[in-house]
Amino acid sequence: MRSTLRSTRRTPRHRRTTARIASAVVAGALALTVTACGGDGDKTDEGGGKDTGSTVQLPKLDGETVSVSAVWGGSERKVFLKVLDEFEERTGAKVSFVPAQDPIISFLESKVAGGQPPDVAMLPQVGAIEQAVANKWAKPVGPEAQKQLEKNYAKGWQNLGAVDGKQYGVYFKAANKSLIWYNTRVFENAGVSEPKTWDDFMKTAQTVYDSGVPPVSVAGAEAWTLTDWFENIYLSQAGPEKYDQLAQHKIKWTDPSVKEALTTLGEVFGKKGFVAGGADGALQTEFPASVKQTFKGGDQPGAGMVFEGDMVSLPISETKAEVGKDAKVFPFPAVGAESPAVVGGDAAVALKDSKGAQALLTYLASPDAARIWAEAGGFISPNKNLDLAAYPNDVQRDIAKALIAAGDDIRFDMSDQAPQSFGGTPGKGEWKALQDFLKNPQDVEGTQKTLETAAAKAYKD
C-alpha cells in the first residue's frame, strides 16, 4: 500500500480473531426485513448495549490542538466532525481534521517524513495498524483509554487493535459487510421476495431485469466493494478454514476454491444488463452514488439492489427513501451451506505522545462518542455499552445488536488483513485485479494469476 513501507505478516493472534461472526449475526440480519424506520417511540434498549447513565471523564485541554486524519469524506466526514465537536466542547481543545487519501499508510508516510504526523489516525485495516507499529509511528494506548476498552469492548475487538500483546488501536466504527439492500418498490413491481440462496438471488435478479430495471448497482470505482463481493462469496462457498488460509496466504490465489468463487461472482458481473451502467459505468460509480441510484427515480431507479454493509443507510438518508419502508435489507445469500458474515472496522491510533491524542482515544472508546454517530445513522459501533436506542431505526438496531451478540466470534474483512500493497491500494494488487475482472469476468484464470503474483510479492516484502 505504499512506496517504501515494509508489509508485516499476520500474527497468530490476528489469525485467531478472524473467526467468522456467530450465527447471531445471520439470525439478526434475517429479522431486518420485517422492521420499519422508527422514531423515538420505537427505540429500545433490549439486549446488547445499555445506557450506563454516565459520561467518560476527559481532561481539560485548553489551548491544545489535536489533529485527526481519516479517509472519510462526504456524509461520513460531516458526522465525524460532529463527534469531534463534542470532544472540543468537553475538553477545550481545538481539533483539526486532516483529510487523508487511500492508501492511508502512504499518506501518513509523507506526513511523518515531513515531521507533521497527525496526533491520531483512523486506520481502516488491521494490516495498517501493524505497519504503523512496525514503522514505530504508533503509540500504545494509555491507561484511561485502556480502561474504556476493557469496560466497553469484547476481547476480540481489543485484540484486533493490539500488536504483540500491546494495545494500539481503538475500534471506533464497525461494519457488517454481508448485507444486500433493495428498493421495495422494484421488488413489488417485479413480484419477487428476498432470496436466501445464491440460486434464488440470480433468479430474483433476472426477474428484476425482466421488469425493466438493472438488478444490481456496483460501486466499481471504489474497489474495496469488489473485494467485499468476493469475500462473501468465498466465505460461504469455500468455508471458514479456506477463508483463513487465503487471508494468510497459506493457499495460493490460483487454488481451485478461488476459481470457483470468481466464477460465481462472474455470474453477476458477466450477465448482460445485470450491472447498472455495465462494467464501464460501474467502474465510474463511487460508493455513495451506487446507493443513491438504487433509491432514486421512483418506479425507474438506476438499480433494484445494492450490496454493501450497514454504512449504506447513510447515503440512503440523503435521498427521499426511508430505511425500513422504501429501503430494506437481507443477508448476503448463501452460496454454500450458510450465508456469509464478514465485518470490517476503523481504529483510532495515536501517532504522537500527547495528552490530547490519548484523551481522544479515551473519548472514542466510550459510548459518548459512538452515540453521536449512531444517532445520525450509517454507523455501527462495537461498543457493547452503547444504548441501542441511539440508533435511528430498527434496521440499524438489529444489525448492531447482532454484532454485539457475536462477541469474540468475529471474522474480519480478508483484504483488510492483507499487506496494504495487496489488499488496500488503489490501482494495485487485489483492487486492480478485481476491477479488471469486472471488465472481463470471463478471464478467471488470468485474474487468479494476477492476484497470486501480487499477493506473493506483498506477503514476502
Share of the chain above pLDDT 70, in %: 88
Q: What is the pLDDT of residues 157-171, one digit of tens each?
A: 999 999 999 999 999
Q: Establish if 352 belongs to a structural domain.
A: yes
- Tell me, what's the pLDDT at 311? 85
Range of the domain at 70: 21-43+56-176+345-406
Q: Establish if 205 belongs to a structural domain.
A: yes
Q: Establish if 434 belongs to a structural domain.
A: no
**144-177 exposure pattern, b = at least 16 Cβ within 10 A, e = fewer:** bbbebbeebbbebbbbbbbbeeebbbbbbbbbbb
Residues 159, 202, single domain; the answer is no
Q: Establish if 366 belongs to a structural domain.
A: yes
In which band, very low, low, confident or very high, does the pLDDT at 92 lie, cut at 50, 70 and 90?
Answer: very high
Residues 29, 154, single domain; the answer is yes
Residues 166, 67, single domain; the answer is yes
**Domain stop point among 303, 331, 359:** 331
For the record, the C-alpha cell of 215 comes out as 438488478
The CA–CA distances, whole Å, from 88 to 185, 209, 349 equal: 43, 50, 18
The CA–CA distances, whole Å, from 393 to 143, 163, 262, 328 equal: 35, 36, 35, 12
* Dihedral (CA of 172, 75, 331, 229) sign: negative
Q: Establish if 439 belongs to a structural domain.
A: no
Residues 79, 152, single domain; the answer is yes
- pTM exceeds 0.85: no
Residues 143, 188, single domain; the answer is no
**79-112 exposure pattern, b = at least 16 Cβ within 10 A, e = fewer:** bbeebbeebeebbebebeebebebbbbbbbbebb
Nearest-Å Rg of the Cα atoms of the chain is 21
Residues 313, 362, single domain; the answer is no
**Domain stop point among 381, 406, 431:** 406
Q: Establish if 438 belongs to a structural domain.
A: no
The CA–CA distances, whole Å, from 58 to 96, 143, 367 equal: 18, 13, 13
Total domains in the chain come to 2
Residues 191, 314, single domain; the answer is yes
Residues 209, 78, single domain; the answer is no
Taking phi over 0 as left and psi of -120 to 50 as alpha, with beta for the rest, 427 belongs to left
Q: What is the pLDDT of residues 327-378, one digit of tens each?
A: 999 999 999 998 888 889 999 999 999 999 999 999 999 999 999 999 998 8
**Helix, strand, coil abundance in the chain, percent, nearest 5:** 50, 15, 40
Residues 144, 264, single domain; the answer is no
Whether the Cβ atoms of residue 172 and residue 122 lie closer than 8 Å to each other: yes
CA 239 and chain centroid, separation: 20
Q: Establish if 164 belongs to a structural domain.
A: yes
Residues 284, 169, single domain; the answer is no
Q: Establish if 5 belongs to a structural domain.
A: no
| Other beta carbons less than 10 A from residue 427's beta carbon | 9
* Residue 107 to residue 409: CA distance in whole angstroms: 32
In which band, very low, low, confident or very high, does the pLDDT at 231 lie, cut at 50, 70 and 90?
Answer: very high
Whether the Cβ atoms of residue 8 and residue 112 lie closer than 8 Å to each other: no
* Residue 292 to residue 315: CA distance in whole angstroms: 6
3-state secondary structure of 106: helix
Q: What is the pLDDT of residues 62-76, one digit of tens each?
A: 999 999 999 999 889
Residues 165, 193, single domain; the answer is no
**Domain stop point among 272, 303, 331:** 331
In this structure, what DSSP letter does residue 9 have?
Answer: P
Least confident of 48-57, 92-101, 278-287: 48-57
CATH number of the domain where residue 219 is located: 3.40.190.10
What is the H or E stretch that residue 203 is in? helix 198-210
In which band, very low, low, confident or very high, does the pLDDT at 37 lie, cut at 50, 70 and 90?
Answer: very low
- Tell me, what's the pLDDT at 125? 86
CA 415 and chain centroid, separation: 11
Residues 164, 35, single domain; the answer is yes
* Residue 413 to residue 199: CA distance in whole angstroms: 24
Least confident of 274-283, 385-394, 410-419: 410-419
Instruction: Quickly tell me which residue has 459512538 as its cell.
Output: 370
CA 105-109-111 angle, 5° bins: 115
